[in-house]
């Protein structure tokens, strides 16, 4: 289950919660985020159009702004992300900022992988990262004949 926080200024965080009881009362300022996340998981949305207000350092904000540019169904590496930010030596800092992303799925930190194509750390667990990547880019149907 996802737990969303935010206000009229925008969505601040999306967290995975182990709670199984769904809230029946969704604050008006979060209703659009809930709707868009439902559309995403129904396979009807590939891009989010929400007002965001994640809290973080200037560097973290810079990394997160770059993350939203990674298209649905695609991945990039920490090295490539560091290059786009102008400093290949900042790879560890980029990885740390990626790990502090409070807007899972909406700011798609799951789309960042190792340079060798390996799945690397994900705050939500590698099983969730793999699931999200497979969801966004399912294997092609093999022909039987």
CB-based contacts of 112, cutoff 8 Å, min separation 6: 67, 70, 75, 76, 77, 78, 81, 95, 98, 120
Neighbouring-strand partners of residue 4 = 14
Q: What phi and psi values does residue 77 have, to the nearest 5 degrees?
A: -100, 165
Catalytic residue among 109, 112, 113, 132: 109
Q: Is 121 a catalytic residue?
A: no
Q: Is 85:65 a contact under the CB 8 Å cutoff?
A: no
Active-site annotation, residues: 109
């Amino acid at each position: 289950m996802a737990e969303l926080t935010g206000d009229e200024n925008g969505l601040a965080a999306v967290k995975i919660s182990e709670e199984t009881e769904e809230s029946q009362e969704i604050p008006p300022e979060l209703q659009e985020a809930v709707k868009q996340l439902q559309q995403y998981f129904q396979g009807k949305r590939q891009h989010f159009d929400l007002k965001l207000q994640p809290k973080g350092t200037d560097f973290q904000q810079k990394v997160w702004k770059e993350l939203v540019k990674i298209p649905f169904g695609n991945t990039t590496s920490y090295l490539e992300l560091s290059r786009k930010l102008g400093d290949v030596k900042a790879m560890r800092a980029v990885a740390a900022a990626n790990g502090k992303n409070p807007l899972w799925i909406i700011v798609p930190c799951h789309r960042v992988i190792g340079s060798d194509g390996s799945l690397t750390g994900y705050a939500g667990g590698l099983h969730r990262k793999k699931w999200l990547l497979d969801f966004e880019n399912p294997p092609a149907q093999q022909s039987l004949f």
